[in-house]
Structure formats: structure tokens, C-alpha cells
Amino acid sequence: MIEGRVKAFKALSDETRLRILMLVAGRELCVCQMMAVLGVSQPLVSRNLAILKEAGFLVSRREKKLMFYRRRPHLEDAGLGFVKTILKDLAGSDRAAEDRRRLGACREFQKATGRCDMKSLREFMRRKRPAGNTSAAGKTSAAPPGRSNTSGLSGDPSAERTKPI
């Protein structure tokens, strides 16, 4: 039992994973939607999703090439009910509000284009890019204001991959 608790607390020790848990509260999202909101690469999103799933916080399903994730129903039954208190406390943060705004914009874009794939994700990121936010290579980055480029879409392999808390 203690090993499960340690795994759960380790999973919650990362800002990106907490943001993912807040995003999937009450909804199911595909990996590309999370990439668009978080501004991180597919491997980084997938790795964090795997950690959250292994800790018991998420369930997933596949639909053709797409993977969808949602928060596990009845976290209390798995001894993980405490996370609801943590997420409720964090839900009022500026970061959570910005994530919800970006998710809404991403969903509207996908609804308008009728697509949910890497090509539409790149187009969404290109359109939503803040003016003047450029990487070291001179290419405009897809990162939200105040964040380094972690999307992996700038073409700059030296771009920072994680942001310390």
C-alpha cells in the first residue's frame, strides 16, 4: 500500500502532470489537444500520461490512431481521493485559467477544421503563437507567454524540454 502512495505522490510532483489532471477533469482529451494546451512535445505528453496512468489517476482508450485519456472515475475507491482536494485548490490559478482558455480555443479550431491530427495541431499552434516569441534559431515558438519552447515543433533541437517548478 505504501508503494502505491509513493507512486501517486511522485506522479503529482510535476507541474505538467498536475496540469494534465486539471485538463482531464470531467472530460476526455486526446494527446494532440494536451500538446496544444501544454505546449510540449508528443513524447513528453505521452510519458507524463503513462506516469499518471500507472499511478492510477487516468484511464485511456484508443480510437484508430488517437489515444484519449480521462481521469479515473471514483478516485476514492482507489485510495486517491486526496487528489481532488489538490486539484480543486489549483483550479483557480492563472495557469489553470490559461490552460482552460487554450483548450477551448483548440476545441473550436478542431471543430472548425473537422480534424484532430498533427497537421491540424501544428496549424493551431502556428495561428495561436504570440507575436514576437522566437526561439534561438529565429523561428517563432509555440510556447505560451512566460514559458520556454517545449513543443518540439520549432525545429531547434537545443530547445529546453522541461521547465522547473
pLDDT at 36: 93
pLDDT at 83: 80
Confidence band, pLDDT 50/70/90 cuts, at residue 76: low
Residue 158 lies in a domain: no
Is residue 98 over pLDDT 90?
yes
**Alpha-carbon distance values, 148 to 7, 56, 135 (Å):** 28, 30, 8
Confidence band, pLDDT 50/70/90 cuts, at residue 152: very low
pLDDT at 52: 94
Residue 145 lies in a domain: no
Domain that holds residue 103: 2-128
Q: How far apart are CA 74 and CA 82, in angstroms?
A: 11
Residue 51 lies in a domain: yes
Residue 148 lies in a domain: no
Q: pTM for the full model?
A: 0.73
**Left, alpha or beta for 74 (phi > 0: left; psi -120 to 50: alpha)?**
left
pLDDT tens for residues 16-75? Answer: 999 999 999 889 999 999 999 999 999 999 999 999 999 989 999 999 888 999 988 877
What's the chain's average pLDDT?
78
Residue 47 lies in a domain: yes
Which set of grid coordinates corresponds to residue 82? 486526496
Is residue 14 over pLDDT 70?
yes
Task: Name the least confident of 100-104, 118-122, 155-159.
Answer: 155-159
Whose CA is closest to 72, among 82, 59, 55?
59
Residue 151 lies in a domain: no
pLDDT at 131: 55
Residue 161 lies in a domain: no
Q: What is the CATH number of the domain that holds 47?
A: 1.10.10.10
Count of domains observed in the chain: 1
Residue 149 neighbours by CB under 8 Å, 6+ apart: 39, 135, 141, 142, 143, 156, 159, 160
pLDDT at 160: 38
DSSP string, 11-77: HTTSHHHHHHHHHTTTS-EEHHHHHHHHTB-HHHHHHHHHHHHHTTSEEEEEETTEEEEEEPS-GGG
